[in-house]
Amino acid sequence: MTQERNGGRFVGVLLLGAMLSACSGPASTATPASASPAAPVSAPAASTPVVTGLPDFTVLVERFGPAVVNVQVTEKRAEAQPMRGPQLNPNDPFYDFFKRFGIPNPNGGGRGNAPPARGEGSGFIVSPDGYILTNAHVVRGASDVVVKLVDRHEYTAKVIGQDARTDVAVIKIEAKNLPTVKIGDPSKLKPGQWVVAIGSPFGFENSVTAGIVSATARTLPDDRYVPFIQTDVPVNPGNSGGPLFNMDGEVVGINSQIYSQTGGYMGLSFAIPIDVANNVREQLVKSGKVSRGRIGVSIQDVTSQLADSFGLDRPRGALIGSVEAGGPADKGGVKAGDIIVRVDGKLIERDAEVPSLISGIKPGTDTQIEVWRDHAVKKLTVRVAELKEDGEKTAATAGQGAEEQGTLGLSVRPLEPEERRQVKTEGTLVVEEATGPAALAGVQPGDIILGVNGTPVKSIAELKVAAKKSGKTVALLIQRGEAQIFVPVRPGN
């Protein structure tokens, strides 16, 4: 990993003193006897400070720092491919020249294997017999893993298992009576709370950095299964896999990712909640693999316009764009256009919360899902299935797109039977042209219209009627590519 080191920068602060001004003219030295004494001015009430003092992390570091380890990794060496062609004869006058100076044989015979790549990260001991949590990307492709403790004892570690979806790995060293961390509850974290990271940034073992929680349940691109804890704790290359502590000295997360333009600290660091990591750890130790739940739906966030079109009080929940035919959600009565508002009693605010919740449910378990449908909450029971590693199925593919739908700015036509068979769609209307409101909303030629505000439409006439019944916003359910999404369109006049 290439590391950049920024030069120090001195920031000066200019303090401006108060400006004193002299009064012009002679100063008054007497008060007329007839003048009434001035009324006493009441002092302003002292305000109670919101924050008092700064925290002291000394006890936390002394007690739990010894359970944080440095993880050194040697990656498997790539075999160099020799060049094809005739080899130099040992009797050749240039043979000793090439051999002496280590120059590759120009007619074949490379220099041998490439040197092994080395890297390092952090980890923390979770059991006295040597189980350690770290990041999967720290030990991925490793041929040798060495764990160094604070007391400088070193152990060769075995990789018990790793999970790419959550970036969690479990490694094990053969030792007893090791210091361990205390596990906390990340659901109690709130933005603004102090947190501490201990790790090996740039190889500086057991470095301590501190900051505050910026957000919880943050979703990153391509990481739909982890509700990250976002902090401003200085985290740099080498911190990966190290613990994030709360002020009670409990581990609430594993430092995993940074948002950076230089590869170094930029004030945005992300940690995997420890409950997610522990679930992965238990499964890896027990069976060597991770089993996740799925219900077979595609979802999207609920915008203000979509909330208005579905009659929801405010933007919240996860809008279902498509339901896998014959999948768990389909069997449980879930429909496209439903908005998931609760899963097993847990309130859903954003769509990003659903994948991590569902994936954490054991396959075969019945889960209670509350959805918003037809301006009312409906309770459904769905039996969770297992998520396969090749990903979740989604419904159908796309087609192409004539009748003008005035206020929406849509020109649509019915799909021919052969077209429907080719694109494998249940829809019957395809967009030929999108202008005005539809174009502004992102509708594109070739989109297949499946429904309006959760109601399926099969004809141009049904589309017109459904659009007229809508309020300020029309939620078009469209099929594009291999996805189904709702697009909110504000009709024109």
Active-site amino acid positions: 137, 167, 240
Ramachandran region, residue 139 (left: φ > 0; alpha: ψ -120 to 50; beta: rest): alpha
Buried-exposed string 169-185: b where 16+ CB fall within 10 A, e elsewhere: bbbbbeeeebbbbebbe
Non-local (6+) Cβ contacts of 316 within 8 A are: 302, 307, 341, 348, 349, 350
Measure the CA–CA gap between 146 and 135, rounded to whole angstroms. 15
Helices (H), 265-335: 274-287, 304-309, 328-331
Non-local (6+) Cβ contacts of 388 within 8 A are: none
Strands 250-258 and 182-183: parallel
Measure the CA–CA gap between 194 and 185, rounded to whole angstroms. 15
Helix, strand, coil percentages for the chain (3-state, nearest 5): 15, 35, 50
Tokens 């659903």, residue located: 354
Measure the CA–CA gap between 57 and 251, rounded to whole angstroms. 14
97 phi/psi in degrees, rounded to 5: -60, -50
Strands 410-414 and 429-434: antiparallel
At residue 485, the 3 state secondary structure works out as: strand
Helices (H), 349-459: 353-359, 417-423, 436-441
Tokens 């409990």, residue located: 250
Q: Does residue 145 contact residue 156 with C-beta atoms inside 8 Å? A: yes
Helices (H), 101-179: 136-139
Measure the CA–CA gap between 150 and 63, rounded to whole angstroms. 12
Nearest-5° angle of CA 484, CA 490, CA 493? 140
Amino acid at 88: L
Tokens of 411: 């020109």
Tokens of 308: 């208005």
Non-local (6+) Cβ contacts of 81 within 8 A are: 110
What do you get for the CA distance between the two ends of the chain, in Å?
57
Element (H, E) at 461: helix 460-469
Instruction: Please name every residue paired with 147 in a beta bridge, in sequence order, or none if there are none.
Output: 71, 155
